Structure formats: C-alpha cells, structure tokens
Amino acid sequence: MRSRFDEQLAQLERELIEMGALCEESIALAAKSLGDGRLARQVAPLDTEIDRKERDIESLCLKLLLQQQPVARDLRQISAALKMITDLERIGDQAEDIAEIVISGQVNEGEELLRDMAASTIKMVTESVDAYVKHDTMLAEKVIAEDDIVDDWFDRVKHTLIRRMTTDPGEGERAVDLLMIAKYFERIGDHAVNVAQWVIFSVTGTHKEG
C-alpha cells in the first residue's frame, strides 16, 4: 500500500514539474512576444494546457487524500500542492493577459525596459517549483527575497514611464500598456512567493505570509 502511495506522490511531483515548466514557457513567450502579435497568440494555448494540468493535479491530490492515509508530512505535501497549483494557474492567466495587451495594444518590439524584470520573474517561478521538488527551504527563502528585486524593477519601470508620458503626451497609451504588463510581471512574482511559502510549509509545517 505504501509503495503505491509513494508512486502516486512521485507522480504528483512530476505533474507539478510539468505545470511549472508550462508556466515558465508561457511567461518567457509572453515576454519575448513584446511587439510580435504572432508570438503573443501562442500564449493562450499554453494557458489552456496549464488549466488542464491544474485539474489533473487537483484530482490526483484528492485521490491521495481520500483513498490513502497520509502521515503528517505527506499531508502537508499534498495540501501544499493544492495551494501551489492555484498560484501556478494564475501565473498562466497573467502571462495570457500580457499577450492580450501585446495583441491589442501598441507595444513595440525590443522593449528593453521590461526585459530584466521579465527575466527576474521567470527565475522566481523556476526556483519556486524547483524548491518544492527538492524540498529545499533555503531555495524557497531565496525566492521570497528575490521578490524585492522584481518590486524594484516595477518601481523603475513605473517612474520611467511616468517621465515618458510627461515629456511626450503622445506616448500615453503605449506607456499605459507597458505599465500594465509590468504590473502583471510583478503579480507573477507575488505568486512565485506564495509557491515558495507553501514549499516551506510542506517541509516545516509552518506557513508564513507576507
């Protein structure tokens, strides 16, 4: 019975890795698509796949809870996975939101302003899922600390765009689009922090918010 349970836990980890990889791909594609509507249109199918993964993982978690008798650490791992998939699904949604702005807006190719912010955000998502798989609380703490970097990038982008709108009112609509994209990246970073906090809970039994 325990060996079957361990196999299902391993399957849960594999599914989470796959969902995290889809989220990384979706964010990276959304960031790369700035100014390229063709690339931006490839994000929505990824979000559909992320949604499907969320349903599959939720079903597996409920099966583990109802059909098995998990001990405390197993229970924390399953509970954390259920929380994490909600944040991962929202990451997929926000990558799609970015793509929709690109498709309908005035975002030019090669917006250097957002490149580093996007890279920092993708790194947080990658490390948060990696921390879960490795049961690595130190890596999870690193992700939480990295949120300050993404927040700083958002502030820099915001102030740059405000100056741009002040000096050239004709840039207003495009600047608003870029500010919305930056805000979505910042929110993705927040969701990566949530994932990292649930990693810590799954290992220690302690959940710290903020």
pLDDT digits (tens, 9 = 90+) for 117-128: 989 999 999 999
pLDDT, position 110: 47
| Topology given in CATH for the domain delimited by 2-204 | Methane Monooxygenase Hydroxylase; Chain G, domain 1 (1.20.58)
pLDDT-derived band at 5, boundaries 50, 70, 90: confident
Give CA–CA dist 15/165, Å, rounded.
Answer: 44
Indicate if the pLDDT at residue 111 is higher than 80: no
pLDDT, position 108: 62
Closest CA to 102 of 44, 158, 46, 30: 30
pLDDT, position 33: 86
pTM across the whole model: 0.91
- CB burial of 6-43 (b: ≥16 within 10 Å; e: otherwise) equals eebbeebbebbebbbebbbbbbbbbbebbebeebbebb
Task: Tell me which of 50 and 161 has the higher pLDDT.
Answer: 50
pLDDT digits (tens, 9 = 90+) for 70-92: 788 888 889 999 999 999 999 99
Instruction: Tell me the pLDDT of the chain averaged across its residues.
Output: 89
SS3 39: helix
Domain extents for the chain? Answer: 2-204
